[in-house]
Amino acid sequence: MHGDSGARKDGGYQLSHAMWLEKAGDVEGAAAAYRTVIEAGVPHTAGMAATNLGVLLTRHGDPEGAAAAYRQAVDSGHPDAAPLAAANLGVLLQQQGDVDGAAAAYRSAVDSGHPDAAPRAAFDLGNMLAERGDAEGARAALQHAVDSGHPEDAPGAAFCLGYLLKQQGRPEEARAAYQLAIDSGHPRAGSMAACNLGFLLKLQGDADGAAAAYRRAIDFGHPDFAPKAALDLGLLLAGNGDPDGARSALQRVVDSGHPHLSEDARTALAGLG
């Protein structure tokens, strides 16, 4: 027992030293130190060192070395390192065009149930499958991320799920998914979902609902999506006989100074007379 405790302590020191070297900008020194920890084979630290090495090599242009390190971390079975490495490996393999390998890595992370790695991998898997035309697989993966309730990944997955459902001709389910993203309060996903919900409701002929959704997007205050929603709201109100409301919304876009949308808003304001 004492020997194992000493090895753990020593491995922990070496891992901390490797992380310090990385933070100090010594890439080669950090990589060598991580490899020393991995080769020592102490389960508590080897898996984390392999994951960290994979991240380091990814950042510094060695994807093959990174993939090998991530696989070592996955094989370690470490409860944190293995799922995190699997999620990262999925991203790396997807970037390299290995869709099957990426899907397997993502599913490994999802199946782990890790509170951070599993939702992120489900989100990434869902988006990859959507890009590949596997709508049902994408929907299941994105729903998994939504159901996780993860504060960062669930709102983004809800937005993507809403978009996918709209593309599939399931507008009511899309509305529900968008609403989940909005209700999360996530500054980016909520803003995007409110904009898209407004557009969807406008298509369905629900002008009041669309206006409310656009106003919700404005309230989020996102530097891109709030002006976009204000422009869409202004155009909606102008077309529905509310010139004063339209002017107010369009002026908000102009005042935002958005590099592209403010000019569109000026043009629309001029058209109102």
pLDDT at 165: 98
Which range among 39-43, 93-97, 117-121, 146-150 shows the weakest confidence by mean pLDDT? 39-43
AA letter at 173: E
Residue 41's alpha-carbon distances to 31, 38, 45, 75, 261, in angstroms, are 16, 5, 8, 12, 57
pLDDT at 273: 74
- Residue 141's Cα: distance from chain center in Å? 13
pLDDT tens sequence across 21-34: 999 999 999 999 99
Average pLDDT score over residue span 84-107: 98
pLDDT band at 43 (very low <50, low <70, confident <90, very high): confident
pLDDT at 6: 43
2 pLDDT exceeds 90? Answer: no
